[in-house]
Amino acid sequence: MYRTNTCGELNETNIGQTVTLAGWVQTVRDKGFVLWIDLRDRYGITQLVFDEQRTDKTLLEQARKLGREFVIQAVGQVIERASKNPNIPTGNIEILVKKLQILNASLTPPFTIEDETDGGEELRMKYRYLDIRRNPVKDKLVFRSKVAHLVRNYLSQEGFIEIETPVLIKSTPEGARDFVVPSRMNQGQFYALPQSPQTFKQLLMIAGMDKYFQIVKCFRDEDLRADRQPEFTQIDCEMSFVEQEDVLNTFEGMAKHLFKELRGLDFDKFPRITYAEAMRRYGNDKPDIRFGMEFVELNDELKNGSFKVFDEAELVVGINAEGCASYTRKQIDELTDWVKRPQIGSGGLVYVRYNQDGTIKSSVDKFYSEDQLKKVLEKTQAKAGDLILILSGKADKVRSQLSALRMELAERLNLRNPDVFAPLWVVDFPLLEWSEEENRYVAMHHPFTSPKPEDISLMETEPGKVRANAYDMVLNGNEVGGGSVRIFDRDLQAKMFDLLGFSSEDAEAQFGFLMNAFKYGAPPHAGIALGFDRLTAILGGQEVIRDFIAFPKNNSGRDVMIDAPSSIHQQQLDELGIGLKE
Ligand code: ASP
């Protein structure tokens, strides 16, 4: 037997027992007459003690040879510790070692395996297996496992069946690029890795499985933005004979279950707002509603022939940065530079400062009377001490610019508390969005999403106005899930492909299997997928998903530990029939 106990469980109730522990040497503290070792495993740390009086000489000599991260087995007696450590569960005891065995030696690790490490990101990723020995990373993986367990339990109890779908498939239309895998047995042909199991879960509904879920890897070859992974995990679900309301209730229930079990929090019904409203009030379809700073449209107040920039703008819109009237000129200049950066692209920032003493100062004093500015303060419900920040321009653009400013201010004002949770549903997404790049409409969610029945007649006349039965679950400014009611009528699906610019041959080649299945009694169905990595990270009080993934890729999509992607041998290329030709 390698061990009788773990390094996290012994306490004063075990005093007197002889135990065997196994683990890694975290630290050796040698005072000459006495030597302590912190022995670590997944469960915690237990102190081993050797001293001149009670330990025989050869054993003490043996202990002196141990280095950091050696794997050892120690047999000894649990004794009361002289100087106790109240910070760890085993802090009242130590093990007086009688026998020691080195199970494996270790090189000195390239960074310290402590909660606070001296290792930089790149180095920790290269030696991820050492990084995972550290509590902050290990605890996140344990937490992830717990979330997965709760999800499985909840959905199983709700009657969902976990079904695996294949990974070697063909293109899925989630709007990203596919990762492809060449087929050796079918030369010149390729599988695509699933961007999601979308088509398969719909086929499972046609197959009568009724309630499906899967915690599943998905792959999207997108240009990597910070904190995006080319392979990520979804909680993927589909249900038959349901309407949007049923899906929202089921998954709101699941989210509430997670909040309760993981954070001890209870929630009322999640607020719901439409996409149009989200854009109007927050300039964003995934609003962070932990704080206010809602948009206030100021066209009536400020587009009146006084200031050319505003007069020419489609939309003049502001936010109230409460308590920020004390911002210095320098701070406001800095915010102005911030919104003018190319990433944001605003022409400038106008402020109206409502000073504590009741006076008003703005950057447009020469264009507006005090009465006009007072109207702005009224409309934005400003109090003395508040600062109104205003942007103007084309409506869509200015909304997204102000949304970025709102989030930046919230960050600076510490309004994005990771231990506060504000979930909501955003519903009634547009069915289509115009792609300038492709000069055609593309599906906002995916091509299987059903238009709202009352908007179907607009599909031919004003496709951009058609709303979909599509919904997102939003948490703290992140889209944590999205789904839709599906089209289950073959003709409507054909019409949708047509709107998206698929020729009937293309539609047939890509999705013929699904269209064909629709001929055999497809039930009404709807579903959702939740981003498991992100959801877990947020529930864990963090926004960075990387540490909740055992072996993540870096920002260039590389696994620096195994060095992937990498080139392959010519022979392998030849076998696949994709030899690099001149
Ligand atoms: N397949 C969709 C996605 O991955 C989710 C869904 O519609 O169920 O975003």
User: Is the confidence at residue 259, as pLDDT, over 60?
Assistant: yes
What's 307's DSSP letter? Answer: -
pLDDT score of 582: 52
Q: Which residues are CB-neighbours of 160 under 8 A, at least 6 positions away?
A: 211, 212, 213, 237
Measured by CA distance, the residue closest to atom 7 of ligand 1 is 483
pLDDT score of 580: 62
Residue 351 and residue 331: Cα distance in Å, rounded? Answer: 12
Looking at the domain 12-104, which fold is it?
A: OB fold (Dihydrolipoamide Acetyltransferase, E2P) (2.40.50)
- Tell me, in angstroms, the distance from the centre of ligand 1 to residue 531's CA: 10
Architecture of domain 139-273+424-548: 2-Layer Sandwich (3.30)
Contact 109, 68 (CB under 8 A): yes
- Tell me, in angstroms, the distance from the centre of ligand 1 to residue 337's CA: 38
pTM for this prediction: 0.94
Q: Which atom of ligand 1 is nearest to the CA of 195?
A: 4
pLDDT score of 313: 97
Q: Give the mutation target among 212, 222, 234, 449 for probing the ligand 1 site: most ligand atoms within 8 A of CB.
A: 234
Segments of 305-362 assigned E as strands? 315-321, 350-354, 360-362
For residue 34, CA distances in Å to 53, 56, 75, 103, 192 come to 9, 12, 18, 23, 62
Residue 295 and residue 277: Cα distance in Å, rounded? Answer: 11
Q: Which atom of ligand 1 is nearest to the CA of 527?
A: 8
User: Is the confidence at residue 581, as pLDDT, over 60?
Assistant: no
Contact 363, 351 (CB under 8 A): yes
Q: Which atom of ligand 1 is nearest to the CA of 218?
A: 4
- Tell me, in angstroms, the distance from the centre of ligand 1 to residue 196's CA: 7
- Tell me, in angstroms, the distance from the centre of ligand 1 to residue 447's CA: 11
User: Is the confidence at residue 572, as pLDDT, over 80?
Assistant: yes
CA 443 to chain centre: 23
Measured by CA distance, the residue closest to atom 1 of ligand 1 is 198
Across 220-252, b (16+ Cβ under 10 Å) vs e yields beeeeeeebbbebbbbbbbbbebebeebbebbb
198 in contact with ligand 1, CB cutoff 6 A: yes
Residue 445 and residue 431: Cα distance in Å, rounded? Answer: 7
Q: Which residues are CB-neighbours of 535 under 8 A, at least 6 positions away?
A: 147, 235, 258, 475, 480, 481
Element housing 218 (H / E): strand 211-219
Looking at the domain 291-415, which fold is it?
A: Gyrase A; domain 2 (3.30.1360)
Residue 570 and residue 573: Cα distance in Å, rounded? Answer: 5
528 in contact with ligand 1, CB cutoff 6 A: yes
pLDDT in tens, 205-256: 999 999 999 999 999 998 877 788 999 999 999 999 999 999 999 999 999 9
Q: Which atom of ligand 1 is nearest to the CA of 172?
A: 1
Q: State the pLDDT confidence band at 337, using cuts at 50, 70 and 90.
A: very high
User: Is the confidence at residue 269, as pLDDT, over 60?
Assistant: yes
Q: State the pLDDT confidence band at 365, using cuts at 50, 70 and 90.
A: very high
User: Is the confidence at residue 497, as pLDDT, over 60?
Assistant: yes
Q: Where are the domains of the chain?
A: 12-104, 139-273+424-548, 291-415
pLDDT in tens, 401-423: 999 999 999 999 999 999 999 99
119 in contact with ligand 1, CB cutoff 6 A: no
Q: Which residues are CB-neighbours of 406 under 8 A, at least 6 positions away?
A: 282, 283, 293, 295, 319
